[in-house]
Structures are given as C-alpha cells and as structure tokens.
Structure 1
Amino acid sequence: MTAQAFDAARTALLFVDPYNDFLSDGGKLWPRLAEVATAVDLHAHLRAITAGVRAAKIPVFIVPHHRAEPDDFHGWDHPTPYQLGAAKLQVFAKDSWGGDWHPDFAPQPGDTVVKEHWSGNGFANTDLDFLLKQHRVSHVILIGLIANTCIESTARFAADLGYHVTLVRDATAAFSAEAMHAAHDINAPAFAHQVLTTTELLAALPAAA
C-alpha cells in the first residue's frame, strides 16, 4: 500500500498499553502474545516507530489501561467477562512490575500520558479526545496492544469522532494469528483509513525535524 504522507502538525501517535505484563518476558499476558509478537517482530517495530515519530516531531500519546486493584469491580452492575478475567489475574496491577512501563517504551519528556481506560476504548471516560483536539490533531496512528481489543476499540471510536485512522499491522499483536487476521483484514477496512506495515509508515513520515 502507498501510504498517505503525514503532516507532523496534525498527527499523533497513540501507543496503547506499553506495560510489562504485555511486552516483557515474565509478564502475565506475554506467554499468550509471544508467538504472534515474535512472528511480526513486534518489539523492533515498536522501537522503530517511536524513534521515527519522535524524530519527525510527531507527538506521542501513551494510552494506558486501568491498573488493577483488588475489588475493582465490587458492586458493579455489569462488568464484562474480559474485565473480570483481568481482575482475577490482576493484570497491570497498580504499583507492580507488571503494571509498570516496558523500559523501552516508557513515556519520554514531551509525551502525553492519557487517563487510564477501564475497558477496551482509549477514548471512553478519558481525556484522550480533549487532549488531541487541544493539540489540533486530525490524524492518529495506533500501535501497541491488543490488535483485536484495545487497538480496534480505540481506532473505531477515533473514526467515529472524525479522526483519520492508521493501523500498523506489524506493530501490534494478539493471542492468535486468527485474531490478527480478523483485526486487520476483516474488521479494519470498515473503519480504518489505512492499514500499513512499519516500513510503509516510516516512509510516509516527515523528514526528521
């Protein structure tokens, strides 16, 4: 695919859930992601993209999932099975190593850390839309985890809000190759403006400022 060139003044990178529990050996969910992540060379592509967008002076927004605490969903009317499963495992537990940033992808000076999202959508009940609008962003690039849950939910909502949405098929992962295929080849064409590889994305970024 020939990617649309990006305007640094109107574009933001949304890096979803760069936690140890997802991305580090020993993380609670890494064993379920490892096969797909290794197949797409996830870590190398995340490093290349974050370096490339920062060199181009494109702002980076960290879009983090809620850090688990005991009894998070006590008294809730209808937490989802996904939420209850994460709560049982205490995924991204507050004040734990698993709930800390992967050291290669921790926020850097000038990055924006968005309020934590409780479910899959990085916009719902957070300040992400407000912050993007304050930075005059119209185009968003999504990387991180997981392709068919938080990435897809956030990207769908971004499109609904009127943003131009770019997904990067080898800068994310899922629990199975089937889930990756569904996310990028079945579902994404209904809402994403483009689905690129890391190589295609980097070629479309502005020259380093």
Structure 2
Amino acid sequence: MNPSTTALLLIEYQNDFVSDGGAQHDAVSNVMAQTKMLANSKTLVEAARKSGATILHAPISFADGYPEIGTDAYGILAGIVAAKAFRKGSWGAEFAPEMMPATGDIVVEGKRGLDCFASTNLDFILRQRGITNLAIAGFLTNCCVESTMRSAYERGYDVVTLTDCTATLSPEEQQASVAKNFPMFSRPMTHDVFLNALSRA
C-alpha cells in the first residue's frame, strides 16, 4: 500500500470509550484489554503518520438533550442517550489523551450515527486527497467500524479493518465481527501486518 493513497480512519477514540470514568468505558474495557487495542492503536497511528499516510479522526458528539437522535430512539443510539455519553463540550466527548490528533491530521466533523460516511464529508475528503486504500480502527467493532467498512466497500475503496485495534461490548461480538463479517467487506489485518505492507510501498 502506498502511503500517499492510503488513509487511516480512527473512529471515536474519545474519553467516553477509552478512559477510566468514561460513560461507556466499562462496557468496552474487557475487549480493549483482550485485544490490547489502545496500545496497538497508538503504535499504529504513530507509524502510519510517520509513513506519510493520511490520518483521519472521526469523533461523535450530540447537543444537550440529544435532539439529533429523537425521542423514540432504540438500539445503540438509545444506549448512548441512557448513558448520557458523547455530549458536546463534555470531557467524555473529548479525544482521549493517548489518541489526540496531531498537526496535519484531519478531524472529520458531523458524525451523528454509526456510518462515518452518512452525515460527514468523509468521502469528499478521501477523494480530494486521492485516497484509494482506507484502513479502519476504533469503536464499536460491530457498529461504527462495520457500518463504515461496508459503506467504504460499496464506494469502491480498498478497505482494511484493523482486527487488533477495534473493540466492542463482548468477546463474542468481537470474534463474530472479525471472523465472519470483516472478511466479507474488507481485508482484515493486525496493525503490524498493515504497517508492514505500508512500509514496503
């Protein structure tokens, strides 16, 4: 993979997921520990950035009262409302200290649901920069990562999912996504395999 046409998309590395005390941290901490997700992600982003790949951060946030979601929310979005997670301007919605954007990184704005393409200008950014390869890491494996993976696949990108840089609510859900769903719509790789491919370009 050529770094000049490769982007790394980092989904929701925010305090509410990543950090102790975050509204959703306890829900994902077990799988994070199992996959060594945070340490792997730090290594991943530092090396990918150094290689010259485009680094994109896709945080999610909602206004007070969650007007973007509506009153009859169900499923994962209802869980966000119930946990009072990712409130705009709150500590929980801030980037985790370990995964702060660096100079030259791009922060994708407007994410309000699962698919990073749905309510943002992500596709525009990628095409403007001539990106053909999109590697995806972050939360939740079987929600935002999978939704974005499928959309990227449909749009013709060469998609990589970073199996040891993702986390979700249970080991069973993590395994099902990585083993069954990732191979259908992407090239699943560990972070070191991906970085190796990037460095050989």
- Identity %, equivalent residues: 30
| 1:200 maps onto 2:193 in alignment | yes
Q: Secondary structure at the match of 1:98?
A: helix
Q: Secondary structure at the match of 1:205?
A: helix
Specify which structure has the higher proportion of helix: 2
Within 5 A, what are the aligned runs for 1:5-44?
6-44=1-39
Letter in 1 for 2:25: W
Q: Secondary structure at the match of 2:92?
A: coil
Q: CA deviation at 1:164?
A: 0.5
| 1:153 maps onto 2:147 in alignment | yes
- Between the aligned partners of 2:37 and 2:164, the Cα distance in structure 1 is 6
Aligned residue number for residue 138 of structure 1? 132
Deviations 1:87-107 (A, max 9, x none): 222211111111111011111
Within 5 A, what are the aligned runs for 1:59-208?
59-73=54-68, 76=70, 79-192=73-186, 194-206=187-199
Aligned residue number for residue 52 of structure 1? 47
- Between the aligned partners of 2:116 and 2:163, the Cα distance in structure 1 is 19
TM-score normalised by the chain length of structure 2: 0.94
Q: CA deviation at 1:123?
A: 0.2
Q: Secondary structure at the match of 2:196?
A: helix
* Count of residue pairs the alignment pairs up: 201
CA contact (8 A) 1:92 1:99 kept: yes
Deviations 1:166-199 (A, max 9, x none): 011110111111111111111112111x111122
Considering only aligned residues, what root-mean-square deviation do their CA atoms show, in Å? 1.7
Q: Which structure 1 residue ranges, 5 or more long, are not aligned?
A: 1-5
Letter in 1 for 2:96: H
Q: Which structure 2 residue ranges, 5 or more long, are not aligned?
A: none
